[in-house]
Amino acid sequence: MREPTRRQIQALSFVALLSPATRLLPGAAARYASHAGWLCPLLAAPLCALIALPVSAALRSKGPGEGLGEVILRALPRLGRALLALYALWLALYAGFAVRSAASRFIYTIYTGASPRPFVAVGLGVGLLGALGGVRRLARAAELFRPLLILALLPIVGVGLAQLDWRELLPVSPADAPGLALGALDALGTVGFALVNVPLLECGEPIERRARAMAAWSARECLLLGAICACVLGRFGPELSAALTSPFFALVRNTSLFGVAERIEALVTALWVLSDFVLAAFSLMAASRLARLALKARSRPGLPRFLQPRALTSLAAAALALACALAVAPDSRTLRFVSDCVVVYVNLAMLALMLAAAAFAARKRVRPAGSGGVV
């Protein structure tokens, strides 16, 4: 079977999702929906299933080695190029933002007062190496990382659920509806990022019953995110959760494993690097792939590897990401503002754009002329 397989695609989606979801959702859910915040990811689950539908339908007409980008480009030859170029730019900038957020987490949990620059440089350097390595390698790496991250997450959620004050998860009233809708939108953007963007690199064997598989996957993820939000809200209450910079990591800091391990935040922070790496590498790789599609850049035999379009576009994406990471937020307050008020909505707008294009491509069903995707 040609990789990445369904299992690998889901692993890649899970690992890439974990870092932004744990950073963003518990705080946003508490801010928007107060005690009912834990419902936000659960309410997003049906919407995620709806996202999976047009993407899966579009991918039915993909050729061997192709991803969602190629399908869109075939259906929208001119507009598609502009869209993919814009999306490539967005993904490169997002990679920078993701790496900057990861640096902020390190500073928050372990290296208090440190400059984010070394973390950004190392994160992007390693992400670039991953992006140059190919989709299959990244997917295999994600498949290896997933059990490690689940192993770290399970005790946090287990102990969190055992220690939470269930009274903090109520009341849920009709008055919470607007807040719940906003919180669900945040959750939709976070899970939708994986649902829409991972197919850009989904160049393996077509996944059987893809829409159903991805809807089931997103339902599981939303359930997990709902449990994480419940743990945070139940431990700190909505007021404190909304005020904390990183409520999930505050929960991790305040979790002891019954005398087995008193402090686990360093371990968890270290393991979350795997998610940061996959997210950065994935974003750069997808940005590079879309840029090549938009520029119609094909690999040229005879040119050294580092001069091939793939290496050059990856480098350009990394340079853009670096500029974004250094410029986006000089301090944690600005980073929080950018994260909560800018990236969330830009992400949703870009997802909507991509979904519209995918839905159009699914309707047009333009089959490949016989050639494969970009190399």
Partner 1 sequence: MRRIIALLLALALPALGGCARSIYANYRDIESLEVVQALGIDSGPGGVTVSVATGADASGREPLRLSAEGASLDEAMRALSESAGAASLFFSGTGAVVLGEGAAAETARWLDAMARSRELRLDTELYVLRGARAAELVAGKSAPEDVFAALDALAERMRRSGAGRVPTCADAARALTGSGAALAAAIELEGGEPVPAGYAALVPGGPAIFLTGAAARGTGIFLGGPGAELTALPGGVVCELAGVETELNPVWARDGSLARLEVSAAARAMVTEAPVGLDLGSAETAAALEGELAEAVRGWLEAALAACAGSGADFLGLGRVVETRDPARFAALGSWDEALSGLRFDVSCAAEIVNIREYALSPFGEAAA
Smallest gap from residue 310 Cβ to partner 1 (A): 15
Among 2, 148, 165, 181, binds partner 1 (CB under 8 A): 165
Residue tagged 């939470």 (tokens)? 164
Smallest gap from residue 156 Cβ to partner 1 (A): 13
For every residue of 188-230, DSSP letters joined together read HHHHHHHHHHGGGG--SSPPTTHHHHHHHHHHHHHHHHHHHHH
CB-based contacts of 319: which residues, under 8 Å, 6+ apart?
Answer: none
Residues in region 19-78 near partner 1 by CB under 8 A = none
Q: Which residues of 143-163 are buried (b: 16+ CB within 10 A; e: fewer)?
A: bebbeebeebbebbbebbeee
Q: Which is nearer to partner 1, 63 or 125 (CB)?
A: 125
Taking CB under 8 A as the binding criterion, the range among 58-66, 147-155, 161-169, 218-226 that sits at the site for partner 1 is: 161-169
Taking CB under 8 A as the binding criterion, the range among 63-71, 75-83, 143-151, 172-180 that sits at the site for partner 1 is: 172-180
Among 170, 300, 301, 370, binds partner 1 (CB under 8 A): 170
Closest CA to 193 of 5, 354, 23: 354
Among 143, 168, 186, 276, binds partner 1 (CB under 8 A): 168
Taking CB under 8 A as the binding criterion, the range among 165-173, 215-223, 282-290, 339-347 that sits at the site for partner 1 is: 165-173
Q: Which is nearer to partner 1, 26 or 54 (CB)?
A: 26
Residue 331 makes contact with partner 1 by CB under 8 A: no
Angle between helix 68-75 and helix 344-364 axes, rounded to 10 deg: 60
Calculate the CA 205 to chain-centre distance: 22
Smallest gap from residue 319 Cβ to partner 1 (A): 20
Residue 175 makes contact with partner 1 by CB under 8 A: yes
Smallest gap from residue 165 Cβ to partner 1 (A): 7
- 3-state secondary structure (DSSP) of residue 303: coil
Residue tagged 């906003």 (tokens)? 182
Calculate the CA 111 to chain-centre distance: 24
Rg of the Cα atoms in the chain: 20
Q: Which is nearer to partner 1, 166 or 369 (CB)?
A: 166
Taking CB under 8 A as the binding criterion, the range among 51-59, 146-154, 171-179, 330-338 that sits at the site for partner 1 is: 171-179
Residue 114 makes contact with partner 1 by CB under 8 A: yes
Smallest gap from residue 172 Cβ to partner 1 (A): 8
Tell me if 359 sits within 8 A of 56, measured CB to CB.
no
Residues near partner 1 (CB under 8 A), total: 29
CA distance 288 to 282: 10
Smallest gap from residue 188 Cβ to partner 1 (A): 25
Smallest gap from residue 146 Cβ to partner 1 (A): 23
Smallest gap from residue 298 Cβ to partner 1 (A): 23
Residues in region 235-294 near partner 1 by CB under 8 A = 235-240, 243-244, 250, 253-256, 262-263
Taking CB under 8 A as the binding criterion, the range among 38-46, 174-182, 215-223, 336-344 that sits at the site for partner 1 is: 174-182
Tell me if 201 sits within 8 A of 286, measured CB to CB.
yes
Taking CB under 8 A as the binding criterion, the range among 17-25, 88-96, 111-119, 223-231 that sits at the site for partner 1 is: 111-119
Distances (CA, A) of 111 to 25, 106, 130, 237: 23, 6, 25, 27
Helices (H), the chain: 6-33, 39-59, 68-75, 77-109, 117-132, 135-163, 177-197, 210-243, 247-253, 265-295, 309-328, 332-337, 344-364
Smallest gap from residue 74 Cβ to partner 1 (A): 35
Q: Which is nearer to partner 1, 76 or 231 (CB)?
A: 231
> What is the 8-class DSSP label of residue 168?
G
Tell me if 179 sits within 8 A of 32, measured CB to CB.
yes
Taking CB under 8 A as the binding criterion, the range among 160-168, 203-211, 287-295, 335-343 that sits at the site for partner 1 is: 160-168
Q: Where along the sequence are the contacts to partner 1 (CB under 8 A)?
A: 110-112, 114, 129, 165, 167-168, 170-171, 173-176, 235-240, 243-244, 250, 253-256, 262-263
